[in-house]
Every structure is written in structure tokens, then in C-alpha cells.
């Protein structure tokens, strides 16, 4: 059963920030442009793409940090798209987030104990001494020591700060956590520890995760399913194993060609040429056509939908948005 579901979700930002450009907001950044995403309960969904593709905005939309321009978001069957701040509050404890910058995601003026206790008491998980006790417990859970409650965030290393951020997210007992590049700012040896901690906690607390990242190596190890995003749209969606064994969409293939490994040798040829077009004025038709080696005439006029498509050479079908593959007749 799906826990989080979006339908035709869109988010446009005004392109300028000044007074005048807001009044005459004709230019808009198409950050998220018609996304249907389904995350099943208990799943770790990977959301990958290059910077500016809208993956972070999508994560923020799911948690209603931004209000969507169009479309719907369902959480656990309920439409939460239009809920107001106070109506949303019960859902807040169900959905949490973890951020990229460890030193930036914890309020420097609060002790770790206060950060955790405040969240616990606010959502009525526990109060008073019990809340403190719970805060200590969560710190132990993420591999820190209970006496760390009295310390300030800057007294910890980057990896430890990310652990505290995890503890804060866990402390309200959520079902769903959006992880926005949670390990990108960390050293590799620390990254490995945080990844294994996330894995352990996911199993222990039956969490559903949306793992936003640009690092495909990490995705392979962490995610069950992957959605690939390009210029505000999802272009391919498949189970991690299928996707890595056989990427369909030319963009996915190009992304895979760009993955680097610590293996000596020349740079292999391939990779994506050119740069991502501006999201203010995205290309007509398929958005990847300007960089796609396989583009045909149809790509210029019709934007392919993300539907199940079949491939001649394989029996398998796959959700992908590309004219190279024929949609499955339903």
C-alpha cells in the first residue's frame, strides 16, 4: 500500500524576487512540473538527478514546506495538499526531514537536549522528566552518549551532528522521513557510518524513506526503488536492481556513464554533453531532447508521458518517459 502519493504535482517560483517582478510574474521557474510519485510503505525510494532538477523542491513539497502550485499530495490516504498549519500539525509528527549540512541543521543556541525535548513535548510524545529520558534514549539509539544532552551542536563533529539530526527526526515517532542529501557533506568514512545507521533505524522503526541524492553509488546500496528526475519531471522509475542492470531512458543511461569509481584508468568516453537548460524556459516537447543522443523529430513536439513502456529486446516493462519505447496498451 502506498504511504505517500502525489498526482500532477507542480511548483512554480517567480523568477525574480523584486517587488515589480512579483507583480508582473510572467517568468516562472518550473521547479517541479507534473510529478506523479508513489512511495510504498516500508520502502526506501531514491530520488536522483543533477542540481537544479527539482528533487529538493519535491521533497519540500511532500512535507508541505512549500505550497504546491497545482496537484495533490496524499499521505496515508488523506489529501494533505490544502491543509492549513494547524490542521497539518497531526501529520507533522508522521513526516520528518533530515538535511544536508550538519552544522546548519541544528539551532546553535539550543542544547541537544532542548532540541530533542522540545519536539517530543510539542507532539505530546512525553513530558517533563520522561521527555528528557526519551531524549537520552534517542541519543543512545543513534550512537551518541546520553550525557550529550547538555552539549551544544558545535561541540560535535559533522557526523555526530547528522546523528543528532536523525535523533530529532525520530523523536516525534514518524512514519516517513525525507532525507535530503544526508551524507553529501560528510567524509566517506563518516558517510559509511551514517548510511548504516539509517539502514538500521529504518528496519527498527519500520520507516518509509525518500532518499534524495545525486550520488548513484549510494543509491545502489540504500534504495529499493529509484525515480530519476530531470528539469522538474520524473523521467524513469524502477526498482533499483532493474534500473542499474538496464537503464531505459537516455538520461538515466548518461547519468550512469558519468558515475566515477575509485578505479585507476582513463576517463571512459560518454557522459552527458552540455548543461541543463534553464528551468525558466524549458525546451518544448521532451525536456532532455537538447542533450539527448537519440532524439527524434517527435521529441521536439510531444513531451512523452511517464507510463509503463515496453522494450523490443526485453520482456520487461518499465515506467519511463521516452518516445524510444512504446507505451503498453492497457
Partner 1 sequence: MMSVLQVDGLHTYFDTENGIVRAVEGVDFSIEPGEIVGLVGESGSGKSVTASSIMNLVERPGRIAEGTVRYDGQDVFDLSKSELQDLRGGEISMVFQDPMNAFNPTQTVGRQLHDVLRTHRNGAVHPVKRILGLDHDEDCKEAVVEMLDAVGIPNPEARYSDYPHEFSGGMIQRAMVGMALLCDPKLVLADEPTTGLDVSIERQILELFNDLVEELNTAVLWITHDLSVVAKLCDRVVVMYAGKVMEVGPTDVVLSDPANPYTEALLDSIPRYDRPDEEIRVIEGDVPDPLNRPDGCRFADRCPKVHERCHDAHPPQYELGDREVACYLAEEGTK
Partner 2 sequence: MSEQERSYTNVKWRVYRRVRSDTIAKIGAVVVIISLLLAVFSIVDDFLLNGLIIETLLHDPYQLNPDNRLAPPSLSHPFGTDEQGRDILARVIYGTRTSIVVGVGSVLFAAIVGVSLGIITAYYGGLVDDVGMRAMDVLLAFPAILLAIALLASLGRGFTSIILALGIAYIPSFARVTRSKALSVKSDEYVTAAEVIGYPTRDVLIDEILPNCFTPIIVQATFTLAVAIIAEAGLSFLGLGIEPPTPTWGIMLAGAQQYITSAWWYSLFPGLAIMLTVLGYNLLGDSIRDALDPQTGDGERRL
Binding residues for partner 1 (CB under 8 A): 50-51, 157-159, 187-193, 195-196, 214-221, 241, 244, 254-256, 258-267, 271-273, 275
> Looking at beta carbons, which pairs linking 294-300 to residues 24 or more positions away fall under 8 Å?
294/250, 294/324, 296/323, 296/324, 298/323, 299/323
Q: Quick one: which of 99, 156, 176, 211 contacts partner 2 (CB under 8 A)?
A: 99
For the chain, report the end-to-end CA distance as a whole number of angstroms: 22
3-state SS of 42-101 is: CCEEEEECCCCCCHHHHHHHHCCCCCCCEEEEEECCEECCCCCHHHHHHHHCCEEEECCC
Q: Quick one: which of 26, 77, 109, 274 contacts partner 2 (CB under 8 A)?
A: 109
CA distance 229 to 53: 6
Q: Using CB under 8 A, which of the segments 45-53, 104-112, 308-316, 320-328 binds partner 2? A: 104-112
CA distance 98 to 222: 16
Residues 50-69 that bind partner 2 (CB under 8 A): 60, 63, 65
30, 232 contact by CB (below 8 A): yes
178, 150 contact by CB (below 8 A): no
Q: Is 330 a residue that touches partner 2 (CB under 8 A)?
A: no
Q: Which residue has the cell 543533477?
A: 50
* Binding partner of 128, given partner 1, partner 2, none, CB within 5-8 angstroms per partner class: none
* Binding partner of 39, given partner 1, partner 2, none, CB within 5-8 angstroms per partner class: none
Site string for partner 2, 169-208 (x = CB under 8 A): ---x------------------------------------
* Binding partner of 109, given partner 1, partner 2, none, CB within 5-8 angstroms per partner class: partner 2
* Binding partner of 100, given partner 2, partner 1, none, CB within 5-8 angstroms per partner class: partner 2
What strand order describes the sheet that includes 78-79?
A: 28-40, 2-14, 70-75, 78-79
In the complex, the smallest distance separating the C-beta of residue 232 from partner 1, rounded to whole angstroms, is: 16
In the complex, the smallest distance separating the C-beta of residue 270 from partner 1, rounded to whole angstroms, is: 9
Q: CB nearer to partner 2: give 158 or 277.
A: 158
Q: Quick one: which of 29, 53, 119, 201 contacts partner 2 (CB under 8 A)?
A: 119
Q: Is 154 a residue that touches partner 2 (CB under 8 A)?
A: yes
Q: How many CB atoms lie within 10 A of CB 259?
A: 14
Q: Quick one: which of 7, 28, 41, 92 contacts partner 2 (CB under 8 A)?
A: 92
Q: Which residue has the cell 533530515?
A: 98
* Binding partner of 106, given partner 2, partner 1, none, CB within 5-8 angstroms per partner class: partner 2
Strands 208-213 vs 176-180: parallel, antiparallel or unpaired? parallel
State the residues that interact with partner 2 by CB under 8 A.
19, 22, 60, 63, 65, 85-86, 88-89, 92-93, 95-97, 99-101, 104-109, 118-119, 122-123, 152, 154-155, 165, 168, 172
Amino acid at each position: 500500500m502506498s504511504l505517500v502519493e502525489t498526482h500532477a504535482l507542480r511548483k512554480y517560483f517567480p523568477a525574480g524576487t523584486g517587488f515589480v517582478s512579483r507583480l508582473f510574474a510572467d517568468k516562472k521557474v518550473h521547479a517541479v512540473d507534473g510529478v506523479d510519485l508513489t512511495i510504498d510503505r516500508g520502502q526506501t525510494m531514491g530520488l536522483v538527478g543533477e542540481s537544479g532538477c527539482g528533487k529538493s523542491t519535491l521533497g519540500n513539497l511532500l512535507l508541505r514546506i512549500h505550497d504546491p502550485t497545482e496537484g495533490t499530495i496524499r499521505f496515508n490516504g488523506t489529501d494533505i495538499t490544502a491543509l492549513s498549519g494547524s490542521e497539518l500539525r497531526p501529520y507533522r509528527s508522521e513526516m520528518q526531514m533530515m538535511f544536508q549540512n550538519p552544522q546548519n541543521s541544528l539551532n546553535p543556541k539550543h542544547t541537544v537536549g532542548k532540541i530533542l525535548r522540545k519536539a517530543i513535548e510539542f507532539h505530546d510524545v512525553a513530558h517533563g522528566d520522561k521527555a528528557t529520558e526519551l531524549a537520552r534514549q534517542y541519543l543512545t539509539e543513534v550512537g551518541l552518549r546520553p550525557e550529550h544532552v547538555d552539549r551544544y551542536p558545535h561541540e560535535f563533529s559533522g557526523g555526530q551532528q547528522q546523528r543528532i539530526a536523525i535523533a530529532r527526526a525520530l523523536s516525534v515517532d514518524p512514519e516517513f522521513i525525507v532525507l535530503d542529501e544526508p551524507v553529501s557533506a560528510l567524509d566517506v568514512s563518516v558517510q559509511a557510518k551514517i548510511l548504516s545507521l539509517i539502514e538500521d533505524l529504518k528496519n527498527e522503526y519500520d520507516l518509509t524513506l525518500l532518499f534524495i541524492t545525486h550520488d548513484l553509488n549510494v543509491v545502489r546500496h540504500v534504495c529499493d526503488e529509484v525515480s530519476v528526475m530531470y528539469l522538474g519531471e520524473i523521467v524513469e522509475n524502477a526498482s533499483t536492481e532493474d534500473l542499474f542492470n538496464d537503464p531505459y531512458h537516455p538520461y538515466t543511461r548518461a547519468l550512469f556513464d558519468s558515475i566515477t569509481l575509485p578505479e585507476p584508468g582513463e576517463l571512459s568516453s560518454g557522459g552527458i554533453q552540455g548543461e541543463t537548460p534553464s528551468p525558466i524556459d524549458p525546451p518544448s516537447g521532451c525536456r532532455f531532447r537538447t542533450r539527448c543522443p537519440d532524439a527524434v523529430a517527435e521529441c521536439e513536439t510531444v513531451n512523452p508521458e511517464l507510463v509503463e513502456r515496453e522494450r523490443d529486446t526485453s520482456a520487461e516493462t518499465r515506467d519511463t518517459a521516452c518516445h524510444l519505447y512504446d507505451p503498453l496498451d492497457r
